[in-house]
Structure 1
């Protein structure tokens, strides 16, 4: 693992992809790309987390 910002794609409660970036801007751009590329997967959930603070920055679909 390298990078502060961790992006995770899970489907059917199983991890499918992970990515780590130092730049929040890059991580958010990747988040948007992953949503576009993987939103048609059954039960897909994409989450961006700040690994330093433990804060969930955004997720899709957004349950709020």
Structure 2
């Protein structure tokens, strides 16, 4: 099984509240969308990062 390289983080009011790691990017992106639906509100920031490359793949809210 490949390493869990996709890291999802939920910050509430700047504090890390939840973390998740997935090996599959498609699964991680689905989880990201699910977390936005469940926790996306004022004061929340949700990020998905590729831990292998260090690239931030997506975040909510969109920094524009």
- Distance across 1 between alignment mates of 2:40 and 2:59: 12
TM-score by length of 1: 0.92
| Corresponding residue for residue 43 of structure 1 | 43
Q: Following the alignment from structure 1 to structure 2, what is the Cα–Cα distance between the partners of residues 6 and 63?
A: 19
In structure 2, list runs of 5 or more residues that go unmatched.
none
Question: 1:25: Cα distance to partner?
Answer: 0.1
Helix, strand or coil at the partner of 1:20 = strand
Residue of structure 2 equivalent to 1:61: 61
Structure 1 residue runs of 5 or longer lacking an equivalent are: none
After TM superposition, where is structure 1 displaced by more than 6 Å over at least 4 residues in a row?
Answer: none
Distance 1:60 1:36 in 2: 10
**If the length of structure 2 is used for normalisation, what is the TM-score?**
0.92
1-side partners of 2:54 and 2:5: how far apart? Answer: 10
RMSD: 1.0
